[in-house]
Every structure is written in C-alpha cells, then in structure tokens.
C-alpha cells in the first residue's frame, strides 16, 4: 500500500540541497507529489508530498545522511489523500505598502471573515532598511464571492495600504 507523507526540511542555504534530498528519495523508491521549495532569508525551506511504501522510519533513515551532511532539520508527517485534489483559485489579492506590524494579520483576518480560503500566500519585505516596504500576494478561493473579499478589505486602504483584489478567470480550452 502506498502512503503519503509531508516532508519539511529547513537549513542554511547552500548549493545541492534539492539535488541531494531528491536523489536520496528517488534511490529509495519514493515519488514526489506537489512541492514548495524556496529560500527565506538565508535558509532554504522545502515542503513536499512524498509517496513511499516503506514507512516513515525508513524515509527518515534514507534522508538522515543528507540531513546530517547539510545540517538540515527534517520533519515527517503522515498525511491522508494524494494528488489530483487541486482546487482552482478564483481570486488574487495583491497588497503593498510601507512595512508595519499587523498587515498580514489584518488582511487575512478580514478576508477570512469574507469567506476567503487561502491556497497560496507569499510575502516579502523590500525597500531599504530605513524605509521597508511590504509586499503580499495571495491566491485563494472566495467562497462568498470576490466582491465580498473586496468589500471586506476596502477599509484597510485608508491606512495607506494598497490592496488590489482581482478575480482569476481560468481559461479551460
């Protein structure tokens, strides 16, 4: 029986993390599903769905040499389900403004109350050290409609935050 696991790996960024981790998994007969891998600060972060027949102990021992060599932190979590359950986002929210505490909290709280289910969120701090700017991009499903999300977020514009809520019209052809 095939089982799915969510693997989390975090460590100081260096060349070869993805290559070594995925090679170890491949050689152990595991398969990758959806993954997200990105550098945050000086760290490289990996989250990936892995299918394996061997069990989490075996996955752990397969990865241990790579984890030790590269100084990574590994977490393995058994999960239900598998691939091909991908929801299609219907709304995109772009937020930017001068950096200040609470932007993500306020935007996501109001959006959640308006029925937003976040599928993908990434945020970054740009600008300069003395004048940082915050940039937030969200994709999700507006379960109560895109207008509901737009209306809920509109009051935040008054605080000097630029918020753009747009439908994602996916063309199927």
Task: Pick the stretch among 24-32, 68-76, 108-116, 133-141 that binds other proteins (CB under 8 A).
Answer: 133-141
CB-nearer residue toward other proteins: 67 or 136: 136
CB-nearer residue toward other proteins: 53 or 164: 164
By CB under 8 A, the count of residues binding other proteins is: 17
Both tokens of residue 95?
Answer: 């937020």
DSSP H or E stretch at residue 35? strand 31-40
4 closest CA partner among 71, 54, 43: 54
25: exposed, middle or buried (Cβ count in 10 Å: 0-12, 13-18, 19+): buried
CB-nearer residue toward other proteins: 3 or 123: 123
Query: Using an 8 Å Cβ cutoff, are 47 and 2 in contact?
Result: no
Least distance CB 83 / other proteins (angstroms): 8
Which residues, numbered 71-110, are part of the site for other proteins (CB under 8 A)?
A: 83-84, 86, 88, 94
Q: State the angle between helix axes of 146-153 and 103-113 in degrees (0 to 180), rounded to the nearest 10.
A: 140
Query: Using an 8 Å Cβ cutoff, are 105 and 112 in contact?
Result: no
- State yes or no: residue 125 binds other proteins (CB under 8 A): no
- Chain positions contacting other proteins, by CB under 8 A: 83-84, 86, 88, 94, 120, 122, 135, 137, 139, 164, 168-173
């Amino acid at each position: 029986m095939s089982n799915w696991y969510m693997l989390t790996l975090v460590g100081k960024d260096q060349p070869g993390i993805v290559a070594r981790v995925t090679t170890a998994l491949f050689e152990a007969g595991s398969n990758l599903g959806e993954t997200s891998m990105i550098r945050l600060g000086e760290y490289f972060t990996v989250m990936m769905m892995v299918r394996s027949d061997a069990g989490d102990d075996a996955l752990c021992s397969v990865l241990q040499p790579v984890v030790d060599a590269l100084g990574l932190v590994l977490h393995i979590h058994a999960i239900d389900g598998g691939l091909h359950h991908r929801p299609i986002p219907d709304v995109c929210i772009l937020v930017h403004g001068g950096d200040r505490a609470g932007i993500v909290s306020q935007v996501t709280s109001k959006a959640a109350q308006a029925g937003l289910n976040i599928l993908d969120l990434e945020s970054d701090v740009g600008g300069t050290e003395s004048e940082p700017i915050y940039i937030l991009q969200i994709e999700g499903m507006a379960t109560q409609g895109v207008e509901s999300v737009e209306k809920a977020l509109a009051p935040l514009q008054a605080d000097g935050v630029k918020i753009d809520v747009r439908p994602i019209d996916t063309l199927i052809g």
